[in-house]
C-alpha cells in the first residue's frame, strides 16, 4: 500500500509564509482603498467655496497653462503648480477644449479645477503608503508596515489641511521619500539611493524652499550612522584609540563621503531646475529672509499657535502614541529608525517659538506615522510571539487566545490600534465635510434675497465671506483677489479672466456693487473710528442697503462693541458671517390742512327774526 509522504517542514513553512504575506497585503490594500475613497469624498465637498489659500495654488497653476513659467512669489515653490498645469492641459485635451477655454472656467465655475487639485494632494499619500509598506515589512514586520500604510492612507492627517489644496502635502511626500531612500543608502551604501534621496530633497525645496531644506540635517545624520560601520582610515587603527579620536575619525568619514556631496549637488540641481525663479539668487534670498521675518513675527497672519497646539486636531491617542514612540527611539539601536525619528525633532526645533499653522506640520506628521508604526508594530509582534510560545507550551496565554489563534492576534491588534487613533479625527472630518460651509450658505442666501445690482459694503477679507461677483470687470478682478502675488503679469491669465467675466455677465448671473474694507474686524478699541462708529451712516450716505461683516475672531459679533450695531438690523447670520440691513429714516408725509369748518346752521327762531 502506497501512501503520500508528508510535505517537508520547510515547504510547509514557506507556503504558510506566502499565505500570511498575501493576507497582510490584501488587508492593507483594502484599508488603503477605503482611505482613498474617504479622501475622494472629502475632495468633492463644497467645491463652490474654496478654502483660504486654495485659490493661490489653483489660479497660479492656471496662469502657468499659458507657457510663462516665471514665478513671482519666491518664498514658495512653483513645482506643485507646474504639475497641476500639466494635469489641466491633459484634462482640457481630453475634453476637447482649448487651454484658454479651460482656464477661463477657474474664476466663476472652477469646481473641476479645485477638485482635481484636491485629488492631486490626496494622491500624494498613495505612493507613500506603498513605499512605506515595502520598506517596513521586511525590516520591522508586516504589522508595522500595515499600521504605517493605513495611517497614511486614511484622511487622518487631513485634519491638518482640512482636505484642501496645500503645497505642504507634496513637500512632505518628497521629504518622506528622501528619508526612506537615506535609510536604504545606510543599508546598501549604493550611490543610487543617495542620489535619489538628494533628488527628492531638491523637489521638496522646489515645493516650499525653507521648510523643504529642513531635511538636510538628516543627510548628515545618515552619513554619520553609516560611518559607524566604515573601515578606518588608512594608517589609523580604531583599536586602542581614545574616544575623542574615534569621534574625530567618524566625523571625518561622515563629511568625506563622496556620495553625500553628490546627493547635495543633485538636490541643489533639482531645486533650481524645478524652481527656475530661484536662479535670480539675490531676489530669492531676499524673499526667503523677508518671509522668515514676516511669518515668524508678531504680525504673522492667522492664529499664533505653537507646534503642539497646531497638532491637537489629531487628538490625544495619536499624539500620545507619537510622543511615547519618540521617547522609545532613545532606547532603539536601529539607526534607520533613529533617522526617521530625527526629522520630526528637527522640524519642531525649527518652528519652536514661532507662530505655526496646522498645515505646517504635515511633513513631520507623515514621518511620525512611520515612527509610531515601528514601535507599535514591534510591541504587537512581541505580544504575538509570547502568545505563540504559551500556546506551544500548552498553557493559556494572557490574552486568552486558543492554540493556533496567535496568527490572528497581530492583525486584530494592529487594526484595533488604527481604529483607536483614527476613529475620532477621521469621523470629525467626515462629518464636517458633509455640511455646507458658511461661505456657501451665505452666498446662496444673498442670491435668493438680495437682488442683483444691489449696493453692499463688505467688512472683512474676500476669503472670509461669501464669494460674490462684483459689477465691472476691474472691480471683479480686484475684489475676487484674482490678481494677487504677481498673477497680473501673465497675459494668458488676464485673457482668461476677461473671457470668463464676459461669459458670466452674458448669462445674466448676479453681480453686486461692492465697497469693501478687507482687514479682519477687530474690537472697537483697536479699529478705526469710522469702522466702529459711523460705518452704518457712511453706508447710508453711499446708498448701500446691506453691510456684510465677515471673519471676526470673537465668539459673538456684539463683542466687537461697534456703536453702529444699534443703527442696523440683523437679517441673517451664518456663524462668522453676519448680514445687516441699513435702516433708512422714515419719511413722514406732511399732514394736509383741515378743510374749513362749515357754518353752523341758523335755528328756526333766529331765521324768524327780521
CA nearest to 47, candidates 123, 93, 129, 105: 105
The pLDDT of residue 401 is 43
List Cα–Cα distances, 214 to 150, 383, 390, 396, in angstroms: 26, 37, 47, 50
**Contact yes or no for 363/347 (Cβ under 8 A):** yes
**Contact yes or no for 401/200 (Cβ under 8 A):** no
Q: For residue 330, what is the DSSP state? A: G
The pLDDT of residue 102 is 96
Spatial distance between the Cα atoms of 335 and 39, rounded to a whole number of angstroms:
34
Helix (H) or strand (E) run with residue 464 in it:
none
Spatial distance between the Cα atoms of 393 and 387, rounded to a whole number of angstroms:
10
Q: For residue 551, what is the DSSP state? A: -
- Residues, the chain, total? 610
The pLDDT of residue 356 is 83
CA nearest to 33, candidates 153, 151, 122, 134: 153
Spatial distance between the Cα atoms of 328 and 341, rounded to a whole number of angstroms:
10
CA nearest to 186, candidates 295, 263, 245, 288: 263
Quote the pTM value: 0.89
Give alpha helix (H) positions in 402-466. 406-433, 438-449
The pLDDT of residue 606 is 42
Query: DSSP assignment of 286-316, as one string?
Result: HHHHHHHHHHHSTT-SS--B-HHHHTGGGHH
- What is the residue whose three cell numbers read 472670509? 464
The pLDDT of residue 8 is 65
The stretches in the chain having pLDDT less than 50 are 1, 231-238, 240, 396-404, 603-610
Q: What angle do helix axes 125-140 and 142-153 make, rounded to 10 degrees? A: 170
User: In what order do the strands lie in the sheet containing 455-459?
Assistant: 513-517, 455-459, 546-550, 577-582, 568-574
- Longest Cα–Cα distance in the chain: 165
The pLDDT of residue 234 is 41
Spatial distance between the Cα atoms of 14 and 258, rounded to a whole number of angstroms:
41
Alpha-carbon torsion (61, 67, 69, 72), positive or negative: negative
Burial code of 505-520, b = ≥16 C-beta within 10 A, e = fewer?
eeeeebbbbbbbbeee
CA nearest to 364, candidates 171, 198, 202, 184: 171
The pLDDT of residue 604 is 43
Spatial distance between the Cα atoms of 146 and 35, rounded to a whole number of angstroms:
13
Q: What grid cell was written down for 68? A: 510663462
Amino acid at each position: 500500500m502506497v501512501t503520500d509522504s508528508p510535505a517537508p517542514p520547510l515547504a510547509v513553512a514557506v507556503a504558510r509564509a506566502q499565505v500570511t504575506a498575501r493576507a497582510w497585503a490584501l488587508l492593507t490594500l483594502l484599508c488603503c482603498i477605503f482611505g482613498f475613497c474617504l479622501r475622494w469624498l472629502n475632495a468633492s465637498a463644497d467645491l463652490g467655496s474654496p478654502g483660504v489659500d486654495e485659490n493661490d495654488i489653483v489660479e497660479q497653476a492656471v496662469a502657468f497653462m499659458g507657457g510663462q513659467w516665471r514665478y513671482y512669489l519666491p518664498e514658495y515653490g512653483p513645482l506643485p503648480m507646474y504639475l497641476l498645469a500639466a494635469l489641466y492641459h491633459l484634462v482640457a485635451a481630453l475634453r476637447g477644449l482649448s487651454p484658454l477655454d479651460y482656464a477661463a472656467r477657474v474664476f466663476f465655475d472652477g469646481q473641476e479645477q479645485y477638485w482635481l487639485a484636491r485629488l492631486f494632494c490626496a494622491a500624494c499619500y498613495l505612493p507613500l503608503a506603498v513605499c512605506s509598506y515595502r520598506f517596513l515589512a521586511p525590516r520591522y514586520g508586516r504589522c508595522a508596515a500595515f499600521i504605517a500604510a493605513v495611517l497614511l492612507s486614511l484622511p487622518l492627517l487631513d485634519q491638518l489641511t482640512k482636505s484642501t489644496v496645500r503645497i505642504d502635502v507634496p513637500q512632505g511626500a518628497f521629504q518622506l521619500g528622501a528619508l526612506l531612500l537615506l535609510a536604504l543608502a545606510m543599508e546598501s551604501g549604493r550611490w543610487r539611493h543617495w542620489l535619489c534621496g538628494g533628488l527628492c530633497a531638491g523637489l521638496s525645496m522646489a515645493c516650499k524652499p525653507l521648510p523643504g531644506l529642513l531635511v538636510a540635517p538628516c543627510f548628515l545624520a545618515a552619513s554619520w550612522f553609516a560611518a559607524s560601520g566604515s573601515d578606518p582610515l588608512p594608517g589609523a587603527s580604531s583599536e586602542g584609540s581614545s574616544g575623542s579620536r574615534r569621534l574625530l575619525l567618524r566625523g571625518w568619514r561622515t563629511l568625506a563621503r563622496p556620495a553625500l556631496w553628490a546627493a547635495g549637488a543633485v538636490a541643489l540641481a533639482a531645486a533650481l531646475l524645478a524652481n527656475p525663479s530661484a536662479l535670480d539668487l539675490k531676489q530669492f534670498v531676499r524673499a526667503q529672509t523677508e518671509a522668515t521675518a514676516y511669518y515668524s513675527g508678531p504680525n504673522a497672519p492667522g492664529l499664533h499657535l505653537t507646534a503642539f497646539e497646531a497638532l491637537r486636531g489629531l487628538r490625544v491617542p495619536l499624539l500620545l502614541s507619537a510622543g511615547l514612540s519618540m521617547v522609545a527611539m532613545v532606547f532603539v539601536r536601529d539607526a534607520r529608525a533613529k533617522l526617521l525619528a530625527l526629522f520630526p525633532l528637527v522640524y519642531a526645533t525649527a518652528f519652536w517659538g514661532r507662530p505655526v499653522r496646522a498645515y505646517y506640520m504635515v511633513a513631520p506628521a507623515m514621518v511620525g506615522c512611520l515612527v509610531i508604526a515601528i514601535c507599535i508594530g514591534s510591541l504587537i509582534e512581541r505580544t504575538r510571539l509570547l502568545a505563540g510560545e504559551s500556546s506551544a507550551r500548552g498553557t493559556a496565554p494572557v490574552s486568552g487566545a486558543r492554540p493556533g489563534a496567535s496568527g490572528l492576534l497581530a492583525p486584530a491588534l494592529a487594526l484595533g490600534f488604527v481604529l483607536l487613533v483614527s476613529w475620532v479625527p477621521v469621523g470629525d472630518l467626515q462629518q464636517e465635510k458633509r455640511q455646507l460651509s458658511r461661505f456657501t450658505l451665505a452666498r446662496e442666501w444673498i442670491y435668493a434675497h438680495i437682488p442683483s445690482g444691489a449696493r453692499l459694503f463688505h467688512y472683512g477679507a474676500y476669503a472670509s465671506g461669501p464669494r460674490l461677483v462684483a459689477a465691472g470687470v476691474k472691480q471683479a478682478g480686484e475684489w475676487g483677489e484674482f490678481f494677487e502675488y504677481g498673477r497680473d503679469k501673465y497675459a494668458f491669465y488676464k485673457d482668461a479672466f476677461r473671457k470668463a467675466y464676459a461669459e458670466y455677465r452674458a448669462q445674466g448671473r448676479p453681480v453686486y456693487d461692492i465697497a469693501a474694507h478687507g482687514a479682519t474686524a477687530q474690537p472697537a478699541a483697536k479699529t478705526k473710528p469710522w469702522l466702529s462708529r459711523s460705518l452704518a451712516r457712511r453706508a447710508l450716505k453711499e446708498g448701500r442697503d446691506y453691510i456684510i461683516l465677515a471673519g471676526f475672531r470673537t465668539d459673538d459679533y456684539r463683542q466687537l462693541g461697534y456703536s453702529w450695531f444699534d443703527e442696523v438690523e440683523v437679517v441673517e447670520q451664518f456663524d462668522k458671517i453676519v448680514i445687516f440691513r441699513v435702516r433708512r429714516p422714515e419719511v413722514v408725509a406732511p399732514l394736509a390742512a383741515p378743510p374749513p369748518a362749515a357754518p353752523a346752521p341758523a335755528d328756526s327762531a333766529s331765521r324768524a327774526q327780521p
